[in-house]
Amino acid sequence: MTMRNQVAVLMRKAPYGSVYTAEGFRSIMGVGVFEMDVRVIFIDDGVYALVKGQDPAGLDMKSLGDGFPMLPDFGITKFYVHDHSLAERGLTPDDLVMDVEEVDGNAVARLLAESGTVLPF
């Protein structure tokens, strides 16, 4: 059933190559402030946003990998990562900066179907 106050934030882009990941992060913070039920889903190149050891000093940028683990302090606690997207990038949950729930494609579709709003990044 669709819940009007549930928001799914769909993170599909790699960090640093575009503004999407940083803008997605800001949107998650914004939605969280209004105490809505936020689910953050990392899929496709979006899983790269959570890879450990990001150091963008050479690009004169801030590490996005440092930002996501701080979100639970702001009440955002539901994070999902698509298992197939991790696997095809040679990654495992141990390579990520935080604990996230690994889900398959059907579970991703279910999360999206349950949400009243999908914010795509």
Partner 1 sequence: MLYMVNKSPLMHKNLETCLRIAPSEEPILLYEDGVYAVAPGAKAESLVTKALQSHPIYALKADLEARGLQRCIEGVEVIDYDGFVALVEEHDVVPWL
Interacting residues with partner 1 (CB under 8 A): 13-17, 44-45, 48, 51-59, 61, 65, 88-91
Q: Where are the beta strands (DSSP E) in 1-114?
A: 3-11, 37-42, 78-82, 101-103
Residue 35 or 90 with smaller CB distance to partner 1? 90
Min dist CB 48 to partner 1, Å, is 6
Contact predicate 80/111, CB 8 Å: yes
Min dist CB 44 to partner 1, Å, is 6
Residue 17 or 105 with smaller CB distance to partner 1? 17
Exposure class string for 15-36: b at 16+ Cβ within 10 A, else e: bbeeebbbebbebbeebbeeeb
Min dist CB 88 to partner 1, Å, is 5
